[in-house]
Chain A
Amino acid sequence: MRVDGRINGREHVLDVAPSTLLLDLLRDLGLTGAKPSCELEVCGACTVQLDGLPVSACTTLAIELDGRSVETVEGLAPSDDRLHPVQQAFLKHSALQCGFCTPGMVMSAKALLETNPAPSRDDVVHWLEGSICRCTGYEPIVDAVLEAAGAMAHG
């Protein structure tokens, strides 16, 4: 099927099978930031933003991209020295170890801050409930998201 959609700001015309998952489509295009893990929409490692909303690419069909816009972690920073505030805050707070959950965490956090620019700690915890991290124990991630909120409010 023909799909007309935007990926990280660029128009794409794609020919995809109806059963193709958005995650596979993105990864086949070389955008491997979104990760396959639980495949059940519970771990958050494949989170991308579809028209701004965070979705699990592992359970979203590629054809849903038609007429819409998807943003992946690769679209956030034009270069290493121009990281998104969420990315900067993750680095500052050591909010990652193995990094496999990080792209999904970053995208989920970014979507939160676009919806709610001044979240409370409880808001962040509630929002990130759909993202699993096995390495960090979460606290540095929550700290990083709150820091990013502050930086974006002042920046």
Chain B
Amino acid sequence: MAERRLDGAQGGGGAGFAGAGANNTEPRISGTSVPRLDGVAKVTGRAKYAVDLDVPNVAHGVAVRADRAHARILGIDAAESEAVPGVLAVVTAKTVAPIDVRFGHISRDHPALAVDKVLYAGEPVALVVAETRRAAEAAARLVRVAYEDLPAVIDADEALGEGAPLLHETHPGRTGDEGFHNTGGGGLAGNLCAENTLGWGDVDAAFEAADLVVEGEYRYPMLYGYAMEPYNATALFEEGSLLVYTTAQHPYMVRDDLARMFELPLARVRVVVPYVGGGYGTKSYTKVEPLAALGAHVTGRPVRVALSVEEAIYTTRSDGARIRARSAFRSDGTLLARDFDVVMNSGAYSDNSPLVCAKLANRCFGPYRLEALRVRCRSVFTNTTPASSLRGFGAPQGNLAGELQMDEAADRLGIDARDLRLQNVVAPGEEILPGKRGIDADLGADLELATESLGWGERPGVGFGISASDAGAHPTSVTMVRLHSDGSASCAVGATELGQGSRTVLSQILADGLGLPFERVAIVQSDTGVTTYERTTGASRTTTLVGRALLLACDDARRKIRELAAELVQGEIEDVDGGVRAGGEELSYGDVIRRWFGSGGEVVGIGAIRKAGEFDKLPPFWEIGASGVVASVDEETGRVTIEQLTTVGDVGFAVNPALLHGQDLGAATMCLGAALSEELVYDGTTLSNPNVVEYRVPRVSDLPKKIDQILAERRDGIGPFGAKGGGEGSGNTIGGAVAAAVGRLLGRYPKELPLTPERVWRLAQESREREQEAVHG
């Protein structure tokens, strides 16, 4: 693998250092690939994941799941199940009344256990709690549910049609959370889960005046993220508080849902997240925690609910999308206007689909200068597994359509596909959404890095694209730094270590913020009873936002040390690494603390970030995508081989380059799966491939033959030392890039992913037929 780091001088100039805030720290440990802190625990198998925790006296909950897609529940007979030895309880929505079992951070419409109706095959209807998982599984098969079948709808466009079966008879409305105010919740009716529109200018006039209009309908598949540790949670009530160990990415969001459900103060819900076996957005928001908590509530025992992969697939998937797009160009290549109509298949409940919908609307038309734009994006309820977040959500779906139209237009205008993008792409600082933060990146330079690496213009089968995602989510972050009496420091942060390496990266930033060696700092994460508030771990926000909050907390702690030192020593006081110089004397943090307290003691610094000041303009940063591929096609079998993958991580500043390379390659690989093999398929009203045999994720033999990973560091982000987020961007353009590469080889751009051998073989056949017609006609 080739790995390169390019600083601002090579990358085409940047917006300059923007990141350290009040803390004038220069990076020393940040910027180096220190080994990840959790490495040894993970290679030795000692790392304990939620599913590994040994909780004394734990009982096991197994869900009884609906065997049909849409039906009214007439009755649940649990007698036979309850008679199985070891069974403690059969829990249903009725038996736990008056607890309202519905949860949801945007719309509280998702019952942990079906209330009157089931809305998709695989939905939990009851929870059997038993002494062992095997007993619970056996007893779950004996629960008899009487149903009255209702007509079901699986396709999103059909669900929007007149007379379609209605999933939700009443819309529960939005929760009112400020962070989700823009999620298309107004005037919803029928099966519409959310609708986002945006645009400006006279779109129709622009299309009228255009020299070229490119039109098409594109399809992006429903995906299963397959985090290898399936969702699991263990819940118990203790001293009037609810304690939950879980696989959640966003423990504070889960806490909020559980507090509402059990009418507990936030202070009495403690959500703890140990090592997590993969997230990628799939573990965002509440999943199985309410099931475990309901089981614990009913039985008075700690209850673990650990799903199988099949059950995980019935819990969350990503939104599939049908995208109708039109792009208008002048003959000189100027992109005049775009018009997108997107319908997302969002499954049975809202979950995070309204936010995916809003993001898809923002991310589909590309980082281009546009006189006129019209986007309508609808999220639609269907009788399928609920859809929610997955890496890059919204971006890969929309980018496929937007970027393929750039490629098609380039061919038809006789302009180079890279040059056409360079001609229309926004410059650093320019807005792509009115009123939003201007682009904090040099996309043109990134594109040139990618195309040069890929050998564009010199070899066949090259595909690439660019994207800009409004990332970082709502910028609320609170951190707490503790300076100890030996001069070492620890910090509690609510951001979750999912494998991306946040504990290591934040430790690097903490060490630099305090001028301490890396070995003298430690970070504790994701325990809502101990750590400070973090809104989410998603949207690539941790390095940028938690990093900045951490530097503020370091400033606060150092200010307090100076104040204490002033009480102890006469004379001028100034910061030095790991302490202060006071009256000519160098004192470590520990010296100051011990002297001031007389014995022991500690100093606490707090840092907080909110949507104000520097962070008032959203998004906090733009996440850039500029990855591409070189592909080859075996026309006999339809198999696509990735000859080369190039990732360009435009991260502002790489706090830990090795970890960033891992994020970029991981994101690109996941999206190669979506491009080539991954797709959840409904056969009638049930999923035909709810397992990882028939749902094929990338394997080691799918590895691109050559990989070139470039980091572009122009210090143009809002994070520490000019950093900004990575981890999604490198995947966002991959679907479109693979389709473009295959299209260039076969003479026609495919409009639907994944490009399975069968689809590619058909494209190749069509291409041959066209050639023969051309010869004979």
Contact = CB atoms under 8 A, between A and B. Distances in A.
A34 B46 CA distance: 10
Contacts of A143: 1
Contact of B42 (A30, A34, A99): A99
A129 B39 contact: no
B674 to A, nearest CB: 12
B772 interface: no
Contacts of B40: 80, 83, 91
B498 A98 contact: yes
Given A33-B45, A141-B700, A40 B499 contact: no
Nearest to B47: A99
Interface string A111-153: 0000000000000011011011111111111110000000000
Contacts of B665: 136-137, 139-140
B393 interface: no
Interface string A24-56: 000100111111111110110100000000000
B286 to A, nearest CB: 20
Given A39-B309, A76-B44, A97-B501, A136 B666 contact: yes
Nearest to B39: A91
Contact of B43 (A97, A102, A128): A102
Contact of B46 (A33, A94, A133, A134): A33
A74 B692 contact: no
Contacts of A87: 43-44
A99 B278 CA distance: 8
Given A77-B44, A137-B668, A137-B669, A98 B499 contact: yes
Contact of B700 (A80, A97, A103, A125): A125
Interface residues of B, number: 57
A39 to B, nearest CB: 6
A61 B32 CA distance: 46
Contacts of B659: 94
A73 interface: yes
B46 to A, nearest CB: 7
B95 interface: no
Interface stretch (B221-229, B320-328, B437-445): B221-229
Interface in B621-660: 658-659
A74 B670 CA distance: 30
Contact of B44 (A40, A83, A125): A83
Q: B35, B43, B498 — which one has the most chain A CB atoms within 10 A of its CB?
A: B43
A51 B665 CA distance: 35
Contacts of A132: 226, 228, 692, 697, 699
B456 interface: no
A72 B45 CA distance: 9
A127 to B, nearest CB: 9
B278 A100 contact: yes
Interface string B676-717: 000000000000000111000111110100010000000000
Contacts of B367: none
B48 A135 contact: no
A45 B228 contact: yes
A63 interface: no
A101 interface: yes
A101 B669 contact: no
Interface string B14-40: 000000000000000000010110111
Contacts of B48: 32
B10 interface: no
Q: B54, B500, B666 — which one has the most chain A CB atoms within 10 A of its CB?
A: B666
A37 B49 CA distance: 12
Interface string A83-101: 1000100110010111111
Nearest to A105: B43
A77 to B, nearest CB: 6
B51 interface: yes
Contacts of B670: 134
Interface string B43-62: 11111110110100000000
A74 B499 contact: no
B49 A35 contact: yes
B692 A43 contact: yes
B428 interface: no
Given A35-B228, A37-B228, A131-B700, A98 B51 contact: no
B277 interface: yes
A53 to B, nearest CB: 19
Given A96-B43, A97-B499, A100-B229, A137 B701 contact: no
B43 A137 contact: no
Contacts of A30: 54
B498 A134 contact: no
A137 B666 contact: yes
A55 B39 CA distance: 24
Contacts of A42: 692-693
A38 B661 contact: no
B333 interface: no
A138 B39 CA distance: 16
A70 interface: no
A102 B42 contact: yes
B355 to A, nearest CB: 23
A26 B718 CA distance: 48
Nearest to B35: A91
Contacts of B190: none
Contacts of A31: 45
A75 B454 CA distance: 44
A32 B45 contact: yes
A140 B45 contact: no
Nearest to B661: A94
A100 B280 contact: no
B277 A100 contact: yes
A106 interface: yes
B308 interface: yes
Contacts of B42: 96, 99, 102
B185 interface: no
B44 A74 contact: yes
Contact of A97 (B49, B500, B692): B500
Contacts of B230: 37
B757 interface: no
Nearest to B647: A137
A111 to B, nearest CB: 15
Contacts of B280: 134
Given A33-B46, A94-B36, A135 B499 contact: yes
Nearest to A19: B134
Nearest to B497: A98
B440 to A, nearest CB: 26
19 contacts: A32-B49, A34-B45, A38-B309, A72-B45, A74-B45, A80-B40, A80-B44, A90-B43, A91-B35, A94-B661, A100-B228, A125-B703, A133-B228, A133-B700, A134-B225, A134-B226, A134-B280, A138-B698, A138-B700
Interface of B: 1, 33, 35-36, 38-49, 51-52, 54, 225-230, 275-280, 306, 308-309, 498-501, 658-659, 661-662, 665-666, 668-670, 691-693, 697-701, 703, 707
Of all A-B residue pairs in the complex, the 4 with the closest CB atoms, nearest first, are A33-B45, A98-B499, A100-B277, A99-B42
Given A33-B45, A42-B692, 15 more contacts: A32-B52, A35-B277, A36-B306, A37-B228, A74-B46, A80-B44, A83-B40, A96-B39, A99-B277, A125-B701, A129-B699, A134-B670, A137-B666, A137-B703, A139-B703
